[in-house]
Homo-oligomer: A and B are copies of this chain.
Amino acid sequence: MNLVLLDPRQTASEIWSISAKRQLEHLRTHVDVQVGDTLKVGVREGKRYLTQIVNVSEQQIQLKALHEEAVPAKLPVTLIVALPRPKVLRRLIMDSVTLGVEKIILLHSYRVDKSYWQTPFLQQLSHYVDLGLEQAGDTIAPQIQLHKRFKPFVEDVLPTLITADRPAFVAHPYVTEAMPVAIDHPCIVIIGPEGGFIPYEVDLLIKNGCQAVSLGNRIIRTETVIPYVFGRLFTL
C-alpha cells in the first residue's frame, strides 16, 4: 500500500479519517504510523494528497491534507483478456490496475473453463482494483467489462473500439510479425487463455480488424505476459 484510498465522503471536512479495517491494520502493522507522520492519500476518482497524521486511535486514524500531488497518468490501453482461472484473475486485475491500464475487458473463449464465470472473485473485482490503485499510488479505477460470448463481442463490439489511431494487437505465437515496440499511442491488447485462442478465434479476431503479432518463441503465462507487453509498448 503506497497510498491510502478514501471515499470522497471521508474527506469532506477539514480533518479526514481512515476507518476501514484493512487499511488500519496495514498502517499499524507495516507502517507503524504515529501522529506527525506524513501519509499519501488518494480520493477515489479524485485527487491525491500528501497528508499529515493528527490523531491515532483504535477506531480511526485522522489526518489533514498538506498539499496536492500528481496522480500518475494511465497507459492509453484497453486490455482484452480471456477470463483466467480465479487465482490468476486476482493478480491480473491488481497488476493491470497497478500498471495503469485504462480499460479491462474479460472475455470468454473456447479454452476458458465455463466454471470460471461463477467465481466469487468476479463480484469482488473492485477490491482488487483498490489494491492495485493503492500499490501504484493511483486514484482512478479502470473501466471493467465482462463479455461472456466471444463471437458477438468480436463481431459487434470490438470493431467499434478499433480505430486508425487505436489499433488492436492479438498476441499469437505462430505469426512472423513481432509485437511493436515503444508505440506510445492508444491501442488495444488482446491476450488469449492458457493454451491460446483456437484457430477459429484468431481468424475471427483478424477478420474483425486485429493484427496478430508474436512475442517470440517462449510461452509466457497470462499474468506474466501482461506486464511484459506493456513494458514493450509504452516508454512511461
Which A residues fall within an 8 A CB radius of B? 2, 70, 72, 95, 98-100, 135-138, 178, 181-182, 214-221, 224-232, 235-236
Q: How far is the CB of A133 from chain B (nearest CB, A)?
A: 10
Q: Which of B2, B70, B221 contacts A219 (CB 8 A)?
A: B2
Question: Is B224 a contact of A98 with CB atoms below 8 Å?
Answer: yes
Copies in the complex: 2
Question: Is B218 a contact of A181 with CB atoms below 8 Å?
Answer: no
Q: How far is the CA of A231 from the CA of B75 in the complex (A)?
A: 15
Q: Please give, as numbers and ranges, the residues of chain B lying within 8 Å of A218 by CB-CB distance.
A: 72, 98-100, 136-138
Q: Please give, as numbers and ranges, the residues of chain B lying within 8 Å of A227 by CB-CB distance.
A: 220, 224-228, 231
Q: How far is the CA of A207 from the CA of B95 in the complex (A)?
A: 33
25 A-B residue pairs with CB within 8 Å: A70-B217, A72-B216, A72-B218, A95-B224, A98-B219, A98-B221, A98-B224, A99-B220, A99-B224, A99-B228, A100-B218, A135-B220, A135-B221, A136-B218, A136-B219, A137-B217, A181-B182, A214-B236, A215-B236, A224-B227, A225-B227, A226-B227, A227-B227, A227-B228, A232-B235
Closest to A219 in B: B2
Q: How far is the CB of A93 from chain B (nearest CB, A)?
A: 12
Q: How far is the CA of A230 from the CA of B138 in the complex (A)?
A: 23
Closest to A69 in B: B217
Q: Please give, as numbers and ranges, the residues of chain B lying within 8 Å of A231 by CB-CB distance.
A: 227-232
Q: Please give, as numbers and ranges, the residues of chain B lying within 8 Å of A230 by CB-CB distance.
A: 228, 231
Q: Please give, as numbers and ranges, the residues of chain B lying within 8 Å of A215 by CB-CB distance.
A: 236
Tell me whether A72 and B217 are in contact in the complex, defined as CB-CB below 8 angstroms, given that A182-B181, A231-B228 are known contacts.
yes
Extra A-B contacts (16), CB below 8 Å, given A72-B216, A227-B227: A70-B217, A95-B221, A95-B224, A98-B219, A98-B224, A99-B224, A99-B228, A136-B219, A138-B218, A178-B236, A181-B182, A226-B227, A228-B230, A230-B231, A231-B232, A232-B235
Q: How far is the CB of A208 from chain B (nearest CB, A)?
A: 26
Q: How far is the CA of A231 from the CA of B182 in the complex (A)?
A: 10
Q: Please give, as numbers and ranges, the residues of chain B lying within 8 Å of A224 by CB-CB distance.
A: 95, 98-99, 227
Q: How far is the CA of A135 from the CA of B216 in the complex (A)?
A: 14
